[in-house]
Protein backbone atom coordinates (compact mmCIF):
# COMPACT_ATOMS: atom_id res chain seq x y z
CA UNK A 1 0.00 0.00 0.00
CA UNK A 2 1.29 3.50 -0.72
CA UNK A 3 2.11 5.80 2.16
CA UNK A 4 -0.83 8.21 1.81
CA UNK A 5 -2.72 6.11 4.32
CA UNK A 6 0.11 6.37 6.83
CA UNK A 7 0.48 10.09 6.25
CA UNK A 8 -3.24 10.67 6.73
CA UNK A 9 -3.27 8.76 10.02
CA UNK A 10 -0.08 10.50 11.08
CA UNK A 11 -1.54 13.91 10.33
CA UNK A 12 -4.81 13.24 12.10
CA UNK A 13 -3.01 11.92 15.15
CA UNK A 14 -0.77 14.96 15.16
CA UNK A 15 -3.78 17.25 14.96
CA UNK A 16 -5.49 15.27 17.69
CA UNK A 17 -2.67 16.29 20.00
CA UNK A 18 -3.22 19.97 19.22
CA UNK A 19 -6.98 20.26 19.51
CA UNK A 20 -7.00 23.96 20.43
CA UNK A 21 -4.79 25.52 17.81
CA UNK A 22 -3.95 25.37 14.15
CA UNK A 23 -1.00 23.25 13.03
CA UNK A 24 0.91 24.12 9.86
CA UNK A 25 1.72 21.63 7.11
CA UNK A 26 5.36 22.42 7.79
CA UNK A 27 5.10 21.22 11.37
CA UNK A 28 3.30 18.04 10.38
CA UNK A 29 5.71 17.34 7.53
CA UNK A 30 8.61 17.65 9.94
CA UNK A 31 6.99 15.11 12.23
CA UNK A 32 6.17 12.74 9.40
CA UNK A 33 9.49 13.11 7.59
CA UNK A 34 8.11 13.98 4.17
CA UNK A 35 7.77 17.11 2.08
CA UNK A 36 5.17 19.67 3.17
CA UNK A 37 3.56 19.70 -0.27
CA UNK A 38 2.74 16.04 0.05
CA UNK A 39 1.23 16.54 3.46
CA UNK A 40 -0.90 19.35 2.08
CA UNK A 41 -2.11 17.05 -0.69
CA UNK A 42 -3.20 14.46 1.84
CA UNK A 43 -4.70 17.09 4.13
CA UNK A 44 -6.58 18.54 1.20
CA UNK A 45 -8.28 15.17 0.75
CA UNK A 46 -9.09 14.93 4.44
CA UNK A 47 -10.53 18.41 4.34
CA UNK A 48 -12.68 17.70 1.31
CA UNK A 49 -14.30 14.90 3.28
CA UNK A 50 -14.84 16.98 6.38
CA UNK A 51 -12.36 15.36 8.74
CA UNK A 52 -10.39 18.56 9.25
CA UNK A 53 -10.69 22.30 8.68
CA UNK A 54 -8.07 24.61 7.28
CA UNK A 55 -7.36 28.29 7.29
CA UNK A 56 -5.07 30.20 4.97
CA UNK A 57 -2.89 33.15 5.83
CA UNK A 58 -0.88 34.14 8.83
CA UNK A 59 -1.69 32.06 11.88
CA UNK A 60 -3.51 29.59 9.67
CA UNK A 61 -3.09 25.84 9.34
CA UNK A 62 -5.15 22.74 9.98
CA UNK A 63 -7.32 21.54 12.82
CA UNK A 64 -9.40 18.47 13.58
CA UNK A 65 -13.08 18.93 12.72
CA UNK A 66 -14.66 15.87 14.33
CA UNK A 67 -14.63 13.86 17.49
CA UNK A 68 -11.53 11.65 17.69
CA UNK A 69 -13.59 8.59 18.45
CA UNK A 70 -15.83 8.89 15.42
CA UNK A 71 -13.06 8.70 12.82
CA UNK A 72 -11.78 5.17 12.18
CA UNK A 73 -9.05 3.64 10.05
CA UNK A 74 -11.50 2.25 7.53
CA UNK A 75 -12.77 5.77 6.79
CA UNK A 76 -9.23 6.79 5.98
CA UNK A 77 -8.39 3.62 4.08
CA UNK A 78 -11.34 4.22 1.79
CA UNK A 79 -10.12 7.74 1.04
CA UNK A 80 -6.49 6.96 0.42
CA UNK A 81 -6.19 3.33 -0.60
CA UNK A 82 -9.45 1.80 -1.75
CA UNK A 83 -8.74 -1.00 -4.19
CA UNK A 84 -5.13 -1.35 -3.07
CA UNK A 85 -5.79 -4.93 -2.08
CA UNK A 86 -6.74 -6.00 -5.60
CA UNK A 87 -3.90 -7.99 -7.16
CA UNK A 88 -2.85 -6.69 -10.56
CA UNK A 89 -4.11 -8.77 -13.44
CA UNK A 90 -2.18 -8.59 -16.70
CA UNK A 91 -4.45 -8.68 -19.73
CA UNK A 92 -4.63 -12.36 -20.38
CA UNK A 93 -5.58 -14.50 -23.34
CA UNK A 94 -9.31 -14.44 -24.07
CA UNK A 95 -8.99 -17.62 -26.13
CA UNK A 96 -8.11 -19.59 -23.01
CA UNK A 97 -10.82 -20.37 -20.49
CA UNK A 98 -8.44 -19.55 -17.66
CA UNK A 99 -7.20 -16.33 -19.21
CA UNK A 100 -10.68 -15.22 -20.11
CA UNK A 101 -12.11 -15.57 -16.60
CA UNK A 102 -9.30 -15.30 -14.06
CA UNK A 103 -9.53 -11.54 -13.71
CA UNK A 104 -13.23 -11.62 -12.92
CA UNK A 105 -12.89 -14.45 -10.41
CA UNK A 106 -10.02 -12.84 -8.48
CA UNK A 107 -11.67 -9.44 -8.61
CA UNK A 108 -14.78 -10.80 -6.93
CA UNK A 109 -12.80 -12.65 -4.30
CA UNK A 110 -10.87 -9.53 -3.40
CA UNK A 111 -13.98 -7.40 -3.23
CA UNK A 112 -14.94 -9.70 -0.39
CA UNK A 113 -11.47 -9.48 1.09
CA UNK A 114 -11.64 -5.71 1.22
CA UNK A 115 -15.04 -5.81 2.93
CA UNK A 116 -13.50 -8.12 5.47
CA UNK A 117 -10.58 -5.78 5.96
CA UNK A 118 -13.08 -2.99 6.46
CA UNK A 119 -14.75 -4.77 9.36
CA UNK A 120 -11.35 -5.10 10.99
CA UNK A 121 -10.15 -1.55 10.43
CA UNK A 122 -13.41 -0.07 11.69
CA UNK A 123 -12.39 -1.26 15.15
CA UNK A 124 -9.63 1.33 15.36
CA UNK A 125 -10.44 5.01 15.80
CA UNK A 126 -7.97 7.89 15.90
CA UNK A 127 -8.55 7.96 19.62
CA UNK A 128 -7.38 4.35 19.82
CA UNK A 129 -4.32 5.13 17.74
CA UNK A 130 -3.47 8.03 20.01
CA UNK A 131 -3.69 5.72 23.02
CA UNK A 132 -1.51 3.13 21.32
CA UNK A 133 1.07 5.82 20.60
CA UNK A 134 1.53 6.34 24.32
CA UNK A 135 1.02 2.71 25.26
CA UNK A 136 4.35 0.99 24.76
Partner DNA sequence: ATAATCTATAACACCTAGTATTACAGTACG
Partner DNA sequence: CGTACTGTAATACTAGGTGTTATAGATTAT
Q: What share of the chain is helix, strand, coil (3-state, %, to 5)?
A: 60, 10, 35
Q: How many other CB atoms are found less than 10 A from the CB of residue 83?
A: 9
Integer Cα distance of 129 and 136 in angstroms? 12
Residue 59: contacted member of DNA, a second copy, none (CB under 5 to 8 Å, by partner type): DNA
Backbone angles phi, psi at 87, to 5 degrees: -70, 145
Q: What is the DSSP letter of 72?
A: B
Integer Cα distance of 69 and 7 in angstroms? 19
Looking at the Cβ atoms of 63 and 117, the one nearer to DNA is 63
Query: What is the footprint of a second copy within residues 104-133 (CB under 8 A)?
Result: 105-106, 108-109, 112-113, 116-117, 120-121, 124, 129, 132-133
Contact call for residue 90 and DNA (CB under 7 A):
yes
The site map against a second copy for 61-90 (x = CB under 8 A) is ------------x-------x--xxxxxxx
- Positions touching a second copy (CB under 8 A) are 1-3, 5-7, 9-10, 13-14, 17, 30-34, 73, 81, 84-93, 96-99, 101-102, 105-106, 108-109, 112-113, 116-117, 120-121, 124, 129, 132-134, 136
Amino acid sequence: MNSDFTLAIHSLTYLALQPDRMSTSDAISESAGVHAVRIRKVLSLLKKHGFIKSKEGLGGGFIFARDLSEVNLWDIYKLTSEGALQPKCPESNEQCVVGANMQRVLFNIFIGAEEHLGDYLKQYTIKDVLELIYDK
